[in-house]
Amino acid sequence: MYELHISCSYDPHCRLSLSVKIIDEVDLKTPALHLSQATREKYADMKMPDPNSCTSSGTAVISGGDLYHKIMRATII
């Protein structure tokens, strides 16, 4: 087990510490497909936590539903 510390780039009070297990066998890409140009343009004015979030790539973190309320905020679309 490892300790993972997550913080928000635009809110210094937003921090979360988790105990995690590293698994090499997961073969999952997110998003499943590259987002279309129309979708990227629709949300172009939104500040994204990952500047490459519209490009399909390997999964970095998979979390359980028990963490959803700790990670998601009401103001996130």
Q: Is residue 19 part of a domain?
A: no
Backbone angles phi, psi at 6, to 5 degrees: -115, 135
pLDDT in tens, 11-70: 778 888 888 887 777 777 777 777 788 988 888 888 776 777 777 777 667 777 787 777
Q: Is residue 46 part of a domain?
A: yes
14: tokens are 């937003």
Number of structural domains (the chain) is 1
What gap in Å lies between CA 8 and CA 42, rounded to an integer?
Answer: 24
Q: Is residue 42 part of a domain?
A: yes
Alpha-helical (H) ranges within 11-65 are: 37-42
Q: b vs e for 42-60, b when ≥16 Cβ sit within 10 Å of the residue's Cβ? A: eeeeeeeeeeeeeeeeeee
The predicted structure's pLDDT at residue 59: 65
Do 72 and 63 touch, CB atoms closer than 8 A?
no
Q: Is residue 7 part of a domain?
A: no
